[in-house]
Structure 1
Amino acid sequence: MKKDDQKNFVIFAVLAALILFGWPQIAHWIFPQQPPAPVKIEGGKTKPVANPGADPASDSPQAMRDRTVVLSETPRVVIETPKLRGSINLKGARIDDLVLVKYDETVAKNSPPIRLLSPSGAKGAYFAQFGWQGAGVQAPGADTVWQASGNKLTPSTPVTLSAQSPTGQVFRIELAVDEDYMFSVRQTVANLGTAPVSVTPYALVTRAQKSTDVDQWAAHVGPIAIYGGKADYIDYKKVDEAQQSFSTTGGWAGYTDHYWLTAVIPDQRVPVQVQQRPTPAKGYQADYQVAAALNVDPGKKITYSSHFFAGAKEVKLLEEYQDKLGIVQFDRAIDWGWFGLIEQPIFYYLDWLFRMVGNFGVAIILLTLTIRGLLFPIAQRQFASMAAMRAVQPKMKALQERYKDDKQRQQQEIMKLYKEEKVNPLAGCLPILLQIPIMFALYKVLLLTIEMRHQPFVGWIHDLSAPDPLLVLNLFGLLNFTPPSFLAIGVFPILLGVSMYFQFKLNPAPMDDMQKQIFSIMPWMLMFLMAPFAVGLQVYWITSNVLTMAQQWLLYRQHPALKEPVKKDVKVK
């Protein structure tokens, strides 16, 4: 082996090791962390696993009894809609008991629904509350027991809560709910006293602990505040250090989990002060209060209207609320990030395809066909460029040999050769560069949008947004152990590696021996690198590779020079 070849081989070996072992750390920081597979395969059988984002004790008998006891300690109004079940605590006027009936914790048939809100005193306490601060008035507090106009809140039966203060004011909270996840709140103060009073409406949502979902660079989980026309994704650590406070007209605040959201939404036309703050019990509270106190003369009343959202971050629904209710940047509850302009069209097209065919895996395949079709003209230019580069490679090698002791002259002559032969060495990179944002955008769509959650494909694939659970090293579930993540190679990653191998085999053989070595090992490195990623992304890549091979067959017929042997002895002037 020549000295230069030895040097190249050492460099390649070091880079390969860095990629193989360093990639998991890089990917964990850059990419949204994919949820674990919702099933495991043991003894050749598929079994559901616990929801990793759920409270690990919330479904235990003891925890459920504890919550049941807490719920039974106070009078309540039942909440019942097509998507929500729960209750309102009349002590303190809190919405503190809510489950999402359309979403289960696991893929098991008997899985309980996702629990979003829990009362204070139960594990995972998480609730919303509405009230007033006042001067010259004793406003209802956390211990006030309100009177309800009805015993059930539904989309067709709103409920009004009433309480009277010793100073002669009547406070009312009129609650209505739609068929999705939005509560409408009207806070009214009627002054039956003899002196004017000043009141400031407020609303809050508080949680006793952080979300069990993971907050990441590309997928925010935690406090969120919309103010001044922008979205602020705030770290829990920042709130721990100091209260975050913002003045705004139009905006909202709350907490976003991977798929769920709670948000207190003030009147978008009235100036408010929005806060994200720690609580004395080491919990977290998002709240707002009206910036200017409202004066109520004797015999008069005032009403303040707001909204409260508690539910799933369904893309179209968030945008519908944003448009219909005028909620500023409500769609930013989903952290689309830098590639939002690509991600959102991909989501809408993919969602449309799913509604057409009824299977998200098939929809991803059809999406891939569309993208490859749009990129086909660019692929034609790529192959034409590869054919031209292949034709000039012998001349380039000759120039490199002639000017091996003068690198500057060598580069000048090579650039001159490119110009004379009308060759662009970067033209072949364009399709790859275009694929990078598309791949990242599709990955975020699969991971961030709840519409992809627990969507099956074929056989053992019960969630396209999770990794392949059918692993080779435990003999596809026959052995009772789980390989470490960097060796968790499933069937779809293997198919990806095989498809990449045959795609590289169809490529024109590079003249450089080092390039040949890189291309020979690259498919199997990619197999390891892509194994922890969502199956949906692997389906996209596998389909893309198969289509690329079909394109290569077609384009080889158009550019036969790519198949011709390279002439090694070429003289240059």
Structure 2
Amino acid sequence: MDDQNKNLILATALSFLVILVWFVLFPPPEPTPPADESAIGTNTADEPVAVAPQAADGAAPAADQVAAEAVEDAPRLPIETPRLTGSISLTGGRIDELSLKDYRVSLGKDAEIVEVLNPVGSGAAYYALYGWAPGTGLNLEQVPGAATEWQVESGETLGVDSPVTLVWDNGNGLTFRRTIAVDADFMFTVTQSVQNTGGGAAAVAPYGILARHGIGEDADLPGLKNFFILHEGAVGMTDGSLSEIDYGDMRDFDVNAEERAQAEVFQVQESGWIGFTDHYWMTTLIPEPGTPFKAAAKYDDRRKIYQTETVLPTMTVEPGETAQVQTRLFAGAKEWETIREYQRSGVAGFIDSIDWGWFFFLTKPIFWLLHNLNQLIGNMGWSIIGLTLIIKAIVFPLAYKSYVSMAKMKELQPQMEALKEAAGDDRQKMQQGMMELYKKEKVNPAAGCLPILLQIPIFFSLYKVIFVTIELRHAPWFGPFRDLSAPDPTSIMNFFGWAPWPGPEPGSIVALIFIGILPLLLGISMWLQQKLNPAPTDATQAMIFAWMPWVFMFMLGSFASGLVVYWIANNTITFIQQYAIMRSQGYTPDVFGNIRSSFKRGPKPDEK
């Protein structure tokens, strides 16, 4: 029983160790300079734009060719809000230039603000394009598309409470209008209308496209983290069902030889949305709730374009009538509070656009608690420590018996060693002796596993929260700790942050050797906490456990400093709890775990 218990603990610890080694060996790569962390893809001098979606009546899709120079020279309509800046190109009426005023690429004084959308020819084309797919009796030249030259009908600058309207007349009795509004955060409202002044009915299907120009199916997009615990790619909600498709999986779509593109298609009946998500930024097409539509994620292997689209049902506009449809576009930061408000306003399941992972039942409440603590305290570092205190208080009733059992196990260590010596190589005799000892002293050796088993999912959930959520990005603590989502910037090379020069590059060999103050404190706290636990009777296991604090100390040097803060706090609180419980049970441990007790031991085996 004892060996099985020890093997379980050892297997759990070694599994944890293997995962941590993986994190260190395969850390998220830094964005390729000079592109900022939101930039995606490259372009050619004469670059194609997104493929127009297929109309509901079966009209064939087509690709518009728009020279990069034509887009660069096109007149533009400015976008200016308290949180956004950018412009709309009147060629295609596309929203293709957008930056976030509240976020910068790095912590440097002269760091540029983050760019979310970029026009064709910029080196990182990423844009939103709206239009109408032609139905029966119409062709592509008679509906607005990527090359359409729109005119400004009203408005000079798109801002909060200042919508703009674009207009285009096809010269055959159809007048198309597009009114664009934006709120105080990241949500655009796009109202498309078509007025029929001709002599016959017109069938058209409104669509929206998000397009990103990539660099080929055998290469990764620059600026992405490419980390296995983070989803980057297409994300969508289909009547309550979440779909996530990585960029690599999009490149693996079966390609239609005629169209050179194939889509993963979703039919939405009541409510849904689709778009692209990166580490911290997202763009999403959101039709009005209650409107059925077709959503698609597509990769064009000839043009190297990643594309998501929404196509609404074909509308038949009779002579003298006007048809209108309204959709929304989210383009900005994945702020939990902002996205939650949009969900409350009718965007179903929008909070799930944040990648909560498999442990969503833990990551969601952990983030909620951390967010509210930060709102109260105003400092994310102290909030993480406060979160640790609350988690330890919640699991304390479960951990109490474990700590008592581990204290008794620690006190029984001499008798267990005596049993081992008396049994020699007779493992069965040793097992029987251990069982009798546990039964006599009323000790449950399996109880010691509980703290470890509880800690693992909580650790990974907090790691997910710290790594994924934008609220931890560039979140300061104090002194040199200016970004809790980044590794510890201190090192013995800069006197643990006291010197004015920076430490070694995070993730480098030098940084792994000359660790910062946080990993050092982690190793010490883990070693002290381990000293209160009973040592394995097996010499090999004991050696592995003895080295684990120092191995973890070096391994965690490249982890987010916020996670290391949590682990230091957790070890410290665990040490204090265990020490207090051991004292309450009559044991008096010193700082190295050596204890005296009033616990009455039975006679040693050789005294019977």
Deviation at 1:166, TM superposition (A): 2.3
**Structure 1 residues 371 and 347, CA, compared in 2 at 3 Å: closer, same or farther?**
same
Q: CA deviation digits over 1:37-72, x for unaligned, max 9?
A: 9xxxxxxxxxxx9887255999xxxxxxxxx98776
Question: Partners of 2:537 and 2:335 in 1: how far apart?
Answer: 52
**Structure 1 residues 483 and 509, CA, compared in 2 at 3 Å: closer, same or farther?**
closer
**Residues 403, 409 of structure 1: 8 Å contact kept:** yes
Aligned 1:94-109 pairs, distance under 5 A: 94-109=94-109
The answer on 1:564 being equivalent to 2:548 is no
Q: CA deviation digits over 1:173-204, x for unaligned, max 9?
A: 11111000000111111111111111101000
The answer on 1:495 being equivalent to 2:521 is yes
Letter in 2 for 1:232: S
Aligned to 1:234: 245
Aligned 1:488-567 pairs, distance under 5 A: 489-507=515-533, 513-561=539-587, 563-564=595-596
Q: CA deviation digits over 1:238-280, x for unaligned, max 9?
A: 2223232222222222111100001111233222221111233
Aligned to 2:268: 248
Letter in 1 for 2:568: I
Aligned to 1:215: 226
Question: Partners of 2:469 and 2:17 in 1: how far apart?
Answer: 29
Deviation at 1:483, TM superposition (A): 3.2
**Structure 1 residues 415 and 248, CA, compared in 2 at 3 Å: closer, same or farther?**
farther
Deviation at 1:422, TM superposition (A): 3.5
Deviation at 1:98, TM superposition (A): 0.4
What SS does the aligned partner of 2:87 have?
Answer: strand
Greater shift in the superposed pair: 231-240 or 124-133: 231-240
**2:319 maps to which of 294, 298, 301:** 298
**2:211 maps to which of 180, 183, 206:** 206
What SS does the aligned partner of 1:153 have?
Answer: coil
Greater shift in the superposed pair: 465-474 or 400-409: 400-409
**Residues 69, 121 of structure 2: 8 Å contact kept:** no
Aligned 1:352-363 pairs, distance under 5 A: 352-363=372-383
Question: Partners of 2:156 and 2:38 in 1: how far apart?
Answer: 30
Deviation at 1:225, TM superposition (A): 2.7
Question: Partners of 2:19 and 2:316 in 1: how far apart?
Answer: 62
**1:140 maps to which of 141, 144, 147:** 144
Aligned to 1:329: 349
**Structure 1 residues 390 and 363, CA, compared in 2 at 3 Å: closer, same or farther?**
closer
Deviation at 1:323, TM superposition (A): 1.9
Letter in 2 for 1:534: A
**2:397 maps to which of 343, 358, 377:** 377
Q: CA deviation digits over 1:78-126, x for unaligned, max 9?
A: 1111110011111101001100001011112222110111111211011
TM-score, normalised relative to structure 2: 0.80
Deviation at 1:570, TM superposition (A): 3.0
Residues paired across the two proteins, number: 538
**Structure 1 residues 484 and 234, CA, compared in 2 at 3 Å: closer, same or farther?**
farther
Deviation at 1:479, TM superposition (A): 8.4
Aligned to 2:450: 430
Identity within the alignment, %: 41
Deviation at 1:487, TM superposition (A): 3.1
What SS does the aligned partner of 1:336 have?
Answer: coil
Aligned to 2:162: 157
Deviation at 1:141, TM superposition (A): 2.1
Deviation at 1:26, TM superposition (A): 5.5
**Structure 1 residues 28 and 224, CA, compared in 2 at 3 Å: closer, same or farther?**
farther
Deviation at 1:364, TM superposition (A): 1.2
Question: Partners of 1:421 and 1:497 in 2: how far apart?
Answer: 33
Aligned to 1:81: 81
**Residues 71, 91 of structure 2: 8 Å contact kept:** no
**Structure 1 residues 268 and 347, CA, compared in 2 at 3 Å: closer, same or farther?**
same
**Residues 471, 491 of structure 1: 8 Å contact kept:** yes
Letter in 1 for 2:446: L
Q: CA deviation digits over 1:452-483, x for unaligned, max 9?
A: 11011122111001101223368765888853
Q: CA deviation digits over 1:8-48, x for unaligned, max 9?
A: 9xxx9x9999998984335667xxx56769xxxxxxxxxxx
**Residues 357, 464 of structure 2: 8 Å contact kept:** no
Letter in 1 for 2:84: L
Question: Partners of 2:12 and 2:377 in 1: how far apart?
Answer: 43
Deviation at 1:412, TM superposition (A): 6.2
Letter in 1 for 2:325: Y
Deviation at 1:168, TM superposition (A): 0.5
Question: Partners of 1:484 and 1:361 in 2: how far apart?
Answer: 26
**Structure 1 residues 346 and 550, CA, compared in 2 at 3 Å: closer, same or farther?**
same
Point out which structure has higher relative CO (alpha carbons under 8 A, 6+ apart).
1
Question: Partners of 1:471 and 1:70 in 2: how far apart?
Answer: 51
Question: Partners of 1:346 and 1:303 in 2: how far apart?
Answer: 43
Greater shift in the superposed pair: 197-206 or 103-112: 103-112
Deviation at 1:407, TM superposition (A): 5.3
Letter in 2 for 1:117: L
Aligned to 2:22: 25
Aligned to 1:42: none
Q: CA deviation digits over 1:400-452, x for unaligned, max 9?
A: 67777775676567556545544321212212211212111111111111111
**Residues 83, 101 of structure 1: 8 Å contact kept:** yes
5+ residue gaps in structure 2?
1-5, 43-67, 215-220, 254-261, 590-594
Aligned to 1:61: none
Question: Partners of 2:192 and 2:327 in 1: how far apart?
Answer: 8
Aligned to 1:4: none
Aligned 1:279-294 pairs, distance under 5 A: 279=300, 280-290=302-312, 292-294=313-315
Aligned 1:40-189 pairs, distance under 5 A: 53=37, 55=39, 73-135=73-135, 136-137=137-138, 138-148=142-152, 149-189=154-194
Deviation at 1:544, TM superposition (A): 1.8
Question: Partners of 1:265 and 1:15 in 2: how far apart?
Answer: 44
The answer on 1:307 being equivalent to 2:339 is no
**Structure 1 residues 100 and 74, CA, compared in 2 at 3 Å: closer, same or farther?**
same
Deviation at 1:555, TM superposition (A): 1.6
Question: Partners of 2:281 and 2:361 in 1: how far apart?
Answer: 22
Letter in 1 for 2:605: V
**Structure 1 residues 25 and 254, CA, compared in 2 at 3 Å: closer, same or farther?**
same
**Structure 1 residues 474 and 360, CA, compared in 2 at 3 Å: closer, same or farther?**
closer
5+ residue gaps in structure 1?
1-7, 38-48, 59-67
Letter in 2 for 1:548: T
**Structure 1 residues 18 and 559, CA, compared in 2 at 3 Å: closer, same or farther?**
closer
Question: Partners of 2:492 and 2:40 in 1: how far apart?
Answer: 29
TM-score, normalised relative to structure 1: 0.84
Greater shift in the superposed pair: 524-533 or 271-280: 271-280
Aligned to 1:468: 488
Question: Partners of 1:506 and 1:420 in 2: how far apart?
Answer: 22
Aligned to 1:63: none
Deviation at 1:492, TM superposition (A): 0.9
